Amino acid sequence: MKSNSPTNLQNSALKQDFLADFKVGVDNVVFSVDTQCNRLLVLLRKRKQEPFNDCWSLPGTLVRHGESLQEAAYRTLAEKIQVNNLYLEQLYTFGNPGRDPREAPESFGVRYLSVSYFALVRYEEAQIIAQKENNLAWYQVQEVPQLAFDHNQILEYGSRRLRNKLEYSPIAFEVLPERFTLNDIYQLYCTILGENFSDYSNFRSRLLKLGFLSDTGVKVSRGAGRPASLYCFDAIAFAPLKDKPLVFI
């Protein structure tokens, strides 16, 4: 066989020496929204090992034998929180040499690559699995401290994706509770996109006109004022709109 000729073997051996060896990590940017207080939250974990011991970080893990990237992402999340519903998509891959201090300084040691994932969970459903020393917590995105590795950069990347997707994709319903008021959605959009991104009444009618929100008939009263209808996301009505360009804002 041609590829087993001496020259090819030699080339192959030479080449192999150049190649970097990698461990591949998966880091999750897990967003949630506390509808009560209109706070955009991200799940952080305090590291209990070197490097960056005692430093807050995105929850992540290294990929194991036979495990896909997404499986690794799910595994980490399953270890940290219990959720019924979970939205997960790949975000970006960070692999610059030197991004992990475990890499030998001369850069001839093993490299650490991070494939980041973007996740959305419902705050009410998402029970944080108790860890010793309270090393897992929701942080308000604006109040996130200095994180381990390049995790602040990854978080920034995730925030941008969140803002963008909010405008053309129904991801808001992945973080809202099962049943919500129209004002809940509006507040959510305000929290993420900033105040005055749109007039409430226009936002409202645009959203209803899309046709995949169904009124449960149930009313809920929050303090003074007229009680609001609880709506829920109608996946069946939404199905035909999938892959179609939608405008939510």
Partner DNA sequence: ACAAAAGTGTTTTTTATACACCCATGC
Partner DNA sequence: GCATGGGTGTATAAAAAACACTTTTGT
Q: Which residues bind a copy of itself (CB under 8 A)?
A: 2-3, 8, 12, 15, 18-24, 49-50, 53, 62-69, 90, 92-93, 95-97, 107-108, 111, 113, 115
Smaller CB separation from a copy of itself, 11 or 85: 11
Taking CB within 5 to 8 Å according to partner kind, which of a copy of itself, DNA, none is near residue 49? a copy of itself
Q: Which of 6, 194, 217, 223 binds DNA (CB under 7 A)?
A: 223
Q: Residue 140 pairs with which residues in a beta bridge? A: 41
Taking CB within 5 to 8 Å according to partner kind, which of DNA, a copy of itself, none is near residue 183? DNA
Judge whether 193 and 185 are in contact, CB under 8 Å. Answer: no
Q: Indicate whether 168 belongs to the interface with DNA (CB under 7 A).
A: no
Which 8-state DSSP code applies to residue 231? Answer: E
Taking CB within 5 to 8 Å according to partner kind, which of a copy of itself, DNA, none is near residue 80? none
Taking CB within 5 to 8 Å according to partner kind, which of a copy of itself, DNA, none is near residue 95? a copy of itself
What is the Cα–Cα distance from 40 to 188, expressed in whole angstroms? Answer: 8
Q: Which of 135, 219, 234, 237 binds DNA (CB under 7 A)?
A: 219
Strand order in the sheet with 179-180: 179-180, 228-233, 213-220
Helix (H, G, I), strand (E, B) or coil at 247: coil
DSSP string covering 176-229: S-SEE-HHHHHHHHHHHH-TTSS-HHHHHHHHHHHS-EEEEEEEE--SSSPPEE
Judged by the rule CB under 7 A, the positions of this chain that interact with DNA are 181-183, 198-199, 201-202, 204-206, 208, 219, 221-229, 247, 249
